[in-house]
Amino acid sequence: MKYHLAQPSFFLKITRPLLPASGFLMTIFFIAGLYTSLVTSPPDYLQGDGMRIMYVHVPASWMALFVYGFLALMSFFSLVWRHPLAEVLAISAAPIGALFTALSLITGSLWGKPMWGTYWVWDARLTSVLILLFLYGGYWALYKSYTRPDQGLRAASILALVGVINLPIIKGSVEWWNTLHQPASLTKLSGPSIHVSMLTPLLLMAGAYFFYFLTVLILRACKELKTRKLMILESMK
């Protein structure tokens, strides 16, 4: 059964006013986040100004996990109910999630060099995030490798669901294994151990990344839906 809220026509209708609002909020959050990150936030007492890369790295890591969860959920809907909108949203989200994951790895390496003395170590956190990037790449490769898009999408969706097991591994890797990566300081049960002067820009940048994801997702999904519509019209001629 296809539900009204899952119809592409409904998606296009609600995203017309949502897109400019999302783009506006993305801009505001980026301006506020960058200003507080670079100007008002104090340097760390140990790491100095080099710590400021945290405001790019940490939200990118959060979004890499969030987008993969979204991708897996849409893949589940696509496999079980064959919703065309879920298919489009999954396809549209995958490259954005790969971008966040790559940004997390690159900024983490740049941060690790002065802190650890090396750009890369094969510890549990870094390795599991690298696997996440491979999962994003594998999803896209499978989707594009089949001559029939429906077969490619099915194979990619199965991979996305299997890859969900990597998300709790990434989250728990610091606590489960001996690793150079620092433990969580924001999501502890006892409360965040990060000062509000650093927490504020971190959350602002996270908001900026989220609205970037939403904005680009809408743009990519609308383009994909229009492409599919044109293909249908061409086949009817």
Looking at the domain assignment, is residue 192 inside a domain?
Answer: no
Looking at the domain assignment, is residue 34 inside a domain?
Answer: yes
Residue 101's domain comprises: 22-38+51-181
Looking at the domain assignment, is residue 46 inside a domain?
Answer: no
Q: Rounded to an integer, what distance in angstroms lies between the CA atom of residue 166 and that of residue 164? A: 5
Looking at the domain assignment, is residue 205 inside a domain?
Answer: no
Q: What is the CA radius of gyration of the chain?
A: 20
- Does 2 score more than 50 pLDDT? no
pLDDT value for 9: 76
| CA terminus-to-terminus distance, the chain | 29
Report which of residues 67 and 111 the model is more confident about. Answer: 67
**Average pLDDT over every residue of 184-194:** 55
pLDDT value for 87: 94
Name 210's Cβ contacts closer than 8 Å, sequence gap at least 6: 63, 66
Looking at the domain assignment, is residue 224 inside a domain?
Answer: no
Q: What's the domain count of the chain? A: 1
**Average pLDDT over every residue of 82-105:** 95
pLDDT tens digits, 138-162: 999 999 999 888 899 999 999 999 9
Q: Rounded to an integer, what distance in angstroms lies between the CA atom of residue 12 and that of residue 16? A: 6
pLDDT value for 45: 75
Looking at the domain assignment, is residue 137 inside a domain?
Answer: yes
Looking at the domain assignment, is residue 166 inside a domain?
Answer: yes
Give the Cβ contact number of residue 30 at 10 Å.
17
Give the Cβ contact number of residue 148 at 10 Å.
8
pLDDT value for 176: 67
